[in-house]
Structure 1
Amino acid sequence: MNKVKNLLVLPRLRVQNANAISSPMTWGFPAMSAFVGLMHALERKLFSAGINVSLGNVGVICHDFEAQATEGGYIRGFHLTRNPVDKTGGTAAIVEEGRVHLDITLIFTIDSAATESEHEDIAYQIGEIVSGMRIAGGSVVPNRNVPSHKQRPQWVALDDKEDERYKQFARLKRRWLPGFALTLRDDYLTEHHQTLQQHNPECSLLDAWLDLSRLNHVCTLENEGEPSEKPVWQAQRPYRGWLVPIPVGYGAISDLFQSGEVANARDAKTQFRFVESLYSIGEWVSPHRMKQPEDLLWYVDNDEEAGLYRLNNDYHLRATAQ
């Protein structure tokens, strides 16, 4: 039985000046937690507007990525702005901010008691609300590079029959090209950690994460033992694919405090806990390689007893089964 029944597709959104610093140790595409936060904020806005729908999972396909940074050489720097003067009239310090312009398609799972005839109108209203929201700190602006009919929000009711469902998803995938969807590859990180430990038992998960995050070069000898012998450097990666380091949530570093126990907390009515970022490995995958909508969707997968507040994605379950 397929869990996902309905998809809400918001195609080719142009986001200006989104946050490019996704965690203390990574930069680039915004963290998936930013899009899950958008989903929750959108659900609250819809409820306030009298639109009673439930949004469950979220997927993102990136069509264009334009980092606001200097180009050239091995060192890159973000374009920074001078802040207004402070309350004393003095010059305020420059706050390090990374920004990026994005062209993305958002996919949500959606459920509602509305009739089928109301779905198109609900999708249109949601598109209007999202156009006035912030996405990863960035502003949604008109996308003049794409015809208006290709930006129309769409409610897709997936068929229960596997053949029809496959055809529906195939049509959607064609509309999402060219583009890449971010998926989770926890399996690569675990497997690579075990491989490195065979050579160095003291190797940590951090070592494995850093090793997968960079491009390693290995020196080999060409024509070894001959007068023409020479060293050759070759790039080497343990796995195929476009792998990137990503934050996937937060891990607890303190006990859970009751509401009001911690001074200066943002919300005095909610329980409080100190956390730090959790990291894993992600893979950018072209939509045409995906077999089902669940491959690109992310969902909240918390374990409060273990102090884990993280996101998950099931693409690796199908990829490793092949």
Structure 2
Amino acid sequence: MKYFKKLALFLLISVLATGCALLEKDDNGRMEASGTIEANEVVVAAEIAGKVISFSVGEGQFVQSGQEIARIDDTVLQWQVKQAEAAVAAAEARLGETKKGSRLEQIRQAEATAAQVRALVEGARKALLTAQKDYERLKELYEEGAVTERQLEAARAKVYAAQSHLDAVSSQYRAAREQSKLVKAGATKETISALEAGLEQAVAAWKIAKAQLEKAVIKAPADGVVTEKLINEGEFVNPGTPLAVITDLDHLWLEVYIPEAELGKVKIGQAARVSVDAFPGETFKGKVTYISQEAEFTPKNVQTRKERTNMVFRVKVALENAGGKLKPGMPADVVFVE
């Protein structure tokens, strides 16, 4: 006797573990099953870190997709967007000036600089020749004993100084001449390519900054009712912090399990009537929208031939909830209409 009591208890637990109630027949012999009403829920989470400065909806309030729910402090993000915009403007200006090429004034200035340095070279060359002649003259006088060795060394030093000055201004002239050529020729392809890449990088940084700024406004991803408010104003959040739960109460469904032997009596599109304990004597319309393609064993670990009649199929019944009376989590009974 104890054995049969234990067996009955085991089977009851097994049935409950599958999430379905025992299948029954109503007074008219129609198939009846029990389950729990369910709904689609969306957890709205923050995408950036910051302090919540406003929370514009409350629990029980209906929201539409795209409606603002909360806002995170965006002061720093606005500065970053302005900084990125300035960087884009600067990059565009540099690229534009380079593509236009050198202006006539720049070319004339470069040519004038080269001419001035060339004049310095000519003057330095003449000064060197003069210093060399003076040295040769003093050298002859030194050999005759007419000048001192100190005077001769001073003349030699002037030659060295004149040569150094000529070398310096000659180098400056070569640089000025090359600069004049570059100004006349304009920017190279490599220079323009580098500036274009810099502009693209600046634009990308601006887009990222703008996208981060937009994330400071948290919007409803779908129509529904705010069933849970998880954060208050003034609290700090991180990316991924849940802020609220939005539930679609207009598209509820009831999930039940039908034994394999009774599956032939249920089909997609079949009408159903649903009742809940909260509204005795009242029924709600439903329709079968899904029948699982694979059976589940009850219990899961029993696969003997004797127990194969306990295989069940998951069935979803879409519910009409125009009055908003039905709520997720309500236990419900469904009668499948022939």
Larger strand percent:
1
Greater RCO, CA 8 A, separation 6+? 2
Interval of TM-score (by shorter of Structure 1 and Structure 2)? under 0.3
Give the structure-2-normalised TM-score.
Answer: 0.18
Larger helix percent:
2
